[in-house]
Amino acid sequence: MSSSVEAITVLSSDGDEFKITVSAAKLSKPLNWMLEDVCFSDDCDEVPTIEVNSKTLVKVIEYCEKHAPRANSGASDSDAEELKKWDIEFMKMDVKDILFHILMAANYLHMEGLYDLACQTAADLMKGMTVSQIRKIFHIKNDFSSEEQEQLRRQHPGCSFD
């Protein structure tokens, strides 16, 4: 692994270049592997592509940079508390446009913290919602056949399925 670089450059799937510090990149296993690769040595100018679109990658890098100091050095309770608040604010995003891309990116980049956070956020959005509200929030099409639908109606007379 190269010891001389402090930040690396990666390409998004849209072809945009992004810089990410080495300590932040270490939060992702695949990026960590890349760091150990010759690509990041001084005599190599090949830029690796990450299969995540630019809009999502900006957010992922933002998360990494915020969490990197704590991940690398441990943190006090007050830091953890502050980070939690930051996470909540960070996750206030459009479900369809960003949240699900973050989920997939975190899964693809093996970022446990972000993955758990995104899953928990999606789960929280489902809590206490009716069937039709869940469909609306997550843009889910009702694909039950009319027979299945009828059966559900009989079983759950109080539920709204429309």
Partner 1 sequence: MAETVFSMLPDDVTLHIFLNLKDDPRHWARLACVCTKFSSLIRNFCWKINCFHTIPSIVSDLLSDSSVPAGGWASLHKLAVCCPGLLHAGVLLDSSDFGLERELGPDEGYQITSSQEIFTSRFNGSSGMGASGSNCYWSLFDDLYNDTVYNASESKDGLESQLCEEAGKGVVKVDQEFSSCKRRKICRSLRSRSHLASGIWNLSREQGNKLLSRQFRDDCLYICDWPGCLHNEEKRNYMLFRGIFKNFKRSRVYRTINDGNRKKIALSCAFCQLCLMFMEYEFGSV
| Residues found near partner 1 in the complex (CB under 8 A) | 95-96, 100, 103-104, 107, 115, 119-120, 122-124, 126-127, 129-131, 134-135, 138-144, 148, 151-152, 155-159, 161
CA distance 57 to 24: 13
**Minimum distance of partner 1 from residue 30's CB (angstroms):** 16
Q: Minimum CB separation from partner 1 for residue 42, in Å?
A: 38
* Nearer Cβ to partner 1 (1/159): 159
Q: What angle do CA 39, 115, 105 make, to 5 degrees?
A: 45
Distance of closest approach, residue 109 Cβ to partner 1, in angstroms: 13
Q: Where are the alpha helices (DSSP H) in the chain?
A: 22-25, 29-35, 54-73, 77-90, 100-108, 112-126, 131-137, 146-155
Name the β-bridge partners of 20. 8
* Torsion of the alpha carbons at 149, 155, 159 and 160, rounded to the nearest 10: 20
Q: How far is the CB of 14 from partner 1 (least distance, A)?
A: 16
Going by C-alpha positions, the residue among 90, 36, 26 that lies closest to residue 58 is: 90
The burial class, CB within 10 Å (0-12 / 13-18 / 19+), for 160 is exposed
Residue closer to partner 1 by CB (options 74, 128) is 128
Question: Cα–Cα distance between 36 and 32 in angstroms, integer?
Answer: 7
Which residue lies nearer to partner 1 by CB, 47 or 140?
140
Cβ proximity to partner 1, 32 vs 149, nearer residue = 149
- Residue 41 CB, nearest approach to partner 1 (Å): 34
Residue with smaller CB distance to partner 1, 31 or 99: 99
